Amino acid sequence: MLYVFLSICCSVIVSILLKLARRYSIDISQAITWNYSMAILLTWLFFKPQFQNLQAAPIGIYTAVGLLLPLVFWIMASSVRVAGIVRTDVAQRLSLFIPLLASFLVFGEALTPLKIAGIIVGFAAILCSIPWQKKTANRKVISNAWMYLVVVFFGFGAIDILFKKVAAFREIPYTTSLFFIYSLAFIIALTGLLIRVFNRKARIVWPHIMFGLILGVANFGNILFYLRAHKALASNPSAVFSAMNIGVITVGTLVGVFVFNERLSLVNKIGIGLAIVAIILITLSQH
Whether 177 contacts 62, CB under 8 Å: yes
Mean pLDDT in residue range 152-158: 93
Terminal C-alpha separation, the chain: 20
- Residue 141: pLDDT above 70? no
* pTM score: 0.88
**Is the pLDDT at 74 greater than 70, yes or no?**
yes
Q: Which residues contact 123 (CB under 8 A, 6 or more apart)?
A: 97
Can you give the three-state secondary structure of 178-214, one letter per residue? Answer: HHHHHHHHHHHHHHHHHHHHHCCCCCCCHHHHHHHHH
Q: What average pLDDT score do residues 267-282 get?
A: 90
State the CB neighbour count (10 A cutoff) for residue 275. Answer: 27
Span 120-138, mean pLDDT?
70
Q: Residue 137: pLDDT band by 50, 70, 90 thresholds?
A: very low
Number of residues that make up the chain:
287
139: pLDDT strictly greater than 50: no
Residues 19-57 have pLDDT tens digits of: 999 889 999 999 999 999 999 999 999 999 988 877 878
Tell me, what's the pLDDT at 240? 84
What pLDDT is attached to residue 277?
Answer: 92
The pLDDT tens digits for 173-224 are: 999 999 999 999 999 999 999 999 999 888 899 999 999 999 999 999 999 9
pLDDT at 138: 40
Read off the pLDDT band of 142 (50, 70, 90): low
**Residue-level pLDDT at 165:** 87
Mean pLDDT check: name the lowest of 30-34, 63-67, 129-133, 256-260: 129-133
- Flag whether pLDDT at 106 surpasses 70: no
- Binned at pLDDT 50, 70 and 90, residue 133 comes out as low
- Residue 273: the pLDDT is 93
The secondary structure of the chain as a DSSP string is: -HHHHHHHHHHHHHHHHHHHHHHTT--HHHHHHHHHHHHHHHHHHHH----SSGGG--HHHHHHHHHHHHHHHHHHHHHHHHH-HHHHHHHHHHTTHHHHHHHHHTT-PPP-HHHHHHHHHHHHHHHHHS--SPP-SSS---TTHHHHHHHHHHHHHHHHHHHHHHHH-TTS-HHHHHHHHHHHHHHHHHHHHHHHHHTTS----HHHHHHHHHHHHHHHHHHHHHHHHHHHTTT-HHHHHHHHHHHHHHHHHHHHHHTS-----HHHHHHHHHHHHHHHHHHHHT-
Sorted by where each begins, the domain ranges of the chain are 2-285
CB 88 within 8 A of CB 149: yes
Mean pLDDT, the chain, whole residue set: 88
